[in-house]
Amino acid sequence: MSLNKKDINKFHENGFVIIKNFLKKKEINKIFFQMEEMIDIPIKNISKKKFKSFDEKYLYLLKKNKILKSHFYDLTKLLDSIVNIAVSKKFLNVGKKLLKSDTILVDTPQIRADHKSDKRFLPQHQELNQISKDVISFWVPLVNVNKKGGGIFLRPKTHHLGHLTFKNSNMSATSDSRKRQKTVDKIFSKNKLKKYKSIYPSLNAGDAVIFQTFVFHGTTPNKLDRIRWTYISRFNSINKTPYLKNARSTLRIPYDADYNNII
């Protein structure tokens, strides 16, 4: 599977493209199978209880032993199914095509779990603190998502604005907390930027949102009972990487860097 011309045009025009059914059922099932096999180890260590589902096991571990839950979470990114997908042909093909290079950098993939009891939401942000200024991110829900239950929200075409600086834009969206969305909404309420409205795509498990560095994106809280499991991976270009050009550069470009001047 690869992107067609229409998809590539959409990606450049809007800053992202949605590819339906990008992760197949078989791949999703394998991820859940491996996560469940792994969570059974801490679970069996603390309980003899019978569980109805993987979600139930995860929430139980979260409640009974937050540290072991975090240990499980830390190791999900090293599961072979997760790593394999990040370097699978279809992901690499898309990454290489969009970054226009035969050589790209694979960042560590990750799994994200959002659950109802934790009303975490990630305010909209640009994808800073990466290795290159040119980054392709894959946001792939492993369960169905929509506006009502919570999911991803993006502002199409905002990548054309380049790197925007505003109050606290020199820190991560997570550290800036809830105030960040208000700041972003305020910026886009101004006359000139009013046209950049957020969209909240409805996605089935396995549909991929593939987006570039500067398009504003974030996630809304999960309001449903089931956990919102998401697969996230990124490719960085070998170009526009300060780390390869300046001996004093850090591996990741700092949040407070002048991104518009990175060449």
The values of phi and psi at residue 131, to 5°, are -80, -40
Tell me whether residue 179 or residue 245 sits nearer to Fe ion (CB atom): 179
Tell me whether residue 43 or residue 154 sits nearer to Fe ion (CB atom): 154
Tell me whether residue 60 or residue 138 sits nearer to Fe ion (CB atom): 138
Number of residues engaging Fe ion in binding (CB under 5 A)? 1
The contacts of residue 256 (CB under 8 Å, 6+ apart) are 170
Least distance in Å: CB of 125 to Fe ion? 6
Tell me whether residue 15 or residue 42 sits nearer to Fe ion (CB atom): 15
Q: Show the beta-strand stretches assigned E in 117-227.
A: 122-125, 135-141, 152-154, 208-212, 217-219
Least distance in Å: CB of 151 to Fe ion? 14
Token match 């829900």: residue?
141
Task: Give the whole-angstrom CA distance, residue 234 versus residue 86.
Answer: 8
Task: Give the whole-angstrom CA distance, residue 239 versus residue 245.
Answer: 10
Least distance in Å: CB of 103 to Fe ion? 24
Of residues 118 through 177, those in contact with Fe ion by CB under 5 A are 127
Least distance in Å: CB of 216 to Fe ion? 9
Are the C-beta atoms of 210 and 153 separated by less than 8 Å? no
Q: How does DSSP classify residue 183?
A: H
Q: Which residues of the chain form contacts with Fe ion (CB under 5 A)?
A: 127
